Amino acid sequence: MSSQQRSAGARSASWLHCREVGGYGCQSAARGVDRQGARPGCWPAGRRRSEGQACRAELDGGGGPAPQIGGDLLAGAEEARRNLRWSTGTVVENRAASADGNVRLMVMSVEDHVDYLEGRKVKRIQKAPRWIDDYKLPGQFVAVRPLGSDVSDNEPSPKTWKLLAISSSPYEARRESALLDASIIEILTDRGGEDDILGDLAPGGQIEVSQALGRGFASLFSSYVGLPSALEDRRPLLMLCAGTPGLSPLRSVLKWAPVQALATTRPIAIVYIAHTPVSAACLQEWDAWRDMGVKVVTLYLRQDGDEDVSDGRVKDLLETSIFESNNGLSDLMGGSLAECAVLMSGLPGSVATDIANRLAQQGVARERLLFCEFF
């Protein structure tokens, strides 16, 4: 066998291994991993290109039609909404995730039994996809609804079902036992809200859970730029979030092994806005994040008797923290503003727009402003 054949065989084996472990799963975010096989279903089809090539092609008009948020991405999101597949989820734990107990960390077991076909020549063939196969990246969501809802699967009304971010990778439980007939996920939720579905469920309670949805944290301006490309390029990460819905997807980012590895060599910071100190979520995990090298900045909407919880208050807190206090962004990110990627979740739309514009003025490339909620 020639050296070229051996090299081609090695590349093929490496690619197949990456596909088997789930593409960008917890063990496969290294340089050289083929992103095409790991792309969630909402991502438009297309060959893998580097971030620089993709952005140049979109700016110059070359390399074929540029992917746009108004086209392929939104069409893919709508298609996923129309094709929700429901499984039964069982509450394993319902524990407090804040000092006042109103933020709940729900540990859910989602049915994930897989049947195999046996053959004479092929030992085992998986008959249908597993639930876990739809989970690709931190920042994905699930839809949840009460068990036995008498409504069509295609009904998009929030009164019927609610989108909640997955706040930990289901692959974590698979490390304990690859033969589980269920996938274990964690979801952060506020108890007592008008659309709260999970908060009061006790262990053993059941609910219907959809497949994992969305593209994770990705750019609105380029379909080829997202959290995986930021990790490949070893970019500093700045995370901005507000409330429990904002922190939940970023918790899954901070629990992801490739991000934890990046934190040992590159600056990573999270700015989290909560209503009050006692309602702040995941307080017990902040020290662990700091220990792995993440700068944790917490801001509170209600302090010293201030009852202003408007969008303007959220914007003022963020702008003061990251643009005006001390050295602002330079202090948070070590001066490497032009190179960093920014992950945003839970921010009101007008606030996200204003903060994105300020970040762009500070030198952050717009295509590296990453969101997970436009699904």
Residue 222's pLDDT is what? 81
44 near 113, Cβ under 8 Å?
no
Q: Average pLDDT for residues 134-138, to the nearest whole number? A: 91
Tell me the average pLDDT of the chain.
75
Q: Average pLDDT for residues 73-88, to the nearest whole number? A: 71
Prediction pTM value: 0.74
Q: Average pLDDT for residues 346-366, to the nearest whole number? A: 90
Residue 77's pLDDT is what? 59
User: How does pLDDT run across 18-45, given as a tens digit for each residue?
Assistant: 333 333 333 333 333 333 434 333 333 3
Confidence of residue 61 (pLDDT cuts 50, 70, 90): very low
Least confident of 30-39, 63-72, 300-309, 360-369: 30-39
* Structural domains for the chain: 83-210 (2.40.30.10), 215-371 (3.40.50.80)
User: How does pLDDT run across 205-239, given as a tens digit for each residue?
Assistant: 999 999 999 889 999 888 789 999 999 999 999 99
Return the higher-pLDDT residue of 1 and 222. 222
Least confident of 129-133, 164-168, 295-299: 129-133
